[in-house]
Amino acid sequence: MNERTRYSDEELEEFRVIITDKLDAAKRDYEILKATIMNTDGNDVTDTSPTFKVLEEGASTLSKEESGLLAQRQMKFIQGLQAALVRIENKTYGICRETGKLIPKERLRAVPHATLSIEAKQNQHRQQI
């Protein structure tokens, strides 16, 4: 039996739709996080009475730090999805960068920006331990 070396153009188009949908949602989420960090919604400690200002500034700072970390993670996710779209254009999408074999469709549907098969990911994890 001949082992396939890449996904067909039809299959790549299916993945392109999945990735584009996830990318649009991720960009919307990123904008929400960015607005939270920049406080564009106007709800800040300046809206409250001075009695609670000191307590709320600490909570506000912590919240902005958490939002900043989430925004960084979201941007990394967006970049991964954009890189996946480039791999679709190059017709290299879905090929494990370690084994050179096709990553199963189920994995790509769950993690569309994946560049490693489960086997390669587990081997990578074992080497780190």
Q: What is the mean pLDDT of residues 22-44?
A: 82
Asked if 17 and 68 sit in the same domain, the reply is yes
Asked if 39 and 76 sit in the same domain, the reply is yes
Residue 16 pLDDT grade (very low, low, confident, very high; cuts 50, 70, 90):
very high
pTM above 0.85, yes or no: no
Asked if 108 and 87 sit in the same domain, the reply is no
| Predicted pLDDT at 110 | 94
Beta partners for residue 95, in sequence order: 102
Domain of residue 120, residue span: 94-129
Question: Domain for residue 3, yes or no?
Answer: no
Asked if 85 and 33 sit in the same domain, the reply is yes
| Predicted pLDDT at 56 | 60
Domain count, the chain: 2
Beta partners for residue 117, in sequence order: none
| Predicted pLDDT at 1 | 44
The CA distances from residue 54 to 44, 50, 81, 100, in Å, are 12, 8, 41, 56
Asked if 66 and 104 sit in the same domain, the reply is no
Residue 72 pLDDT grade (very low, low, confident, very high; cuts 50, 70, 90):
very high
Asked if 16 and 31 sit in the same domain, the reply is yes
Asked if 49 and 81 sit in the same domain, the reply is yes
Question: Domain for residue 37, yes or no?
Answer: yes
Asked if 88 and 128 sit in the same domain, the reply is no
Q: Between 52 and 114, name the one with better pLDDT.
A: 114
Asked if 47 and 101 sit in the same domain, the reply is no
Closest C-alpha to 105, from 15, 4, 9, 19: 15
For the cut 80, the answer to whether the pLDDT of residue 47 exceeds it is: no
For the cut 90, the answer to whether the pLDDT of residue 98 exceeds it is: yes
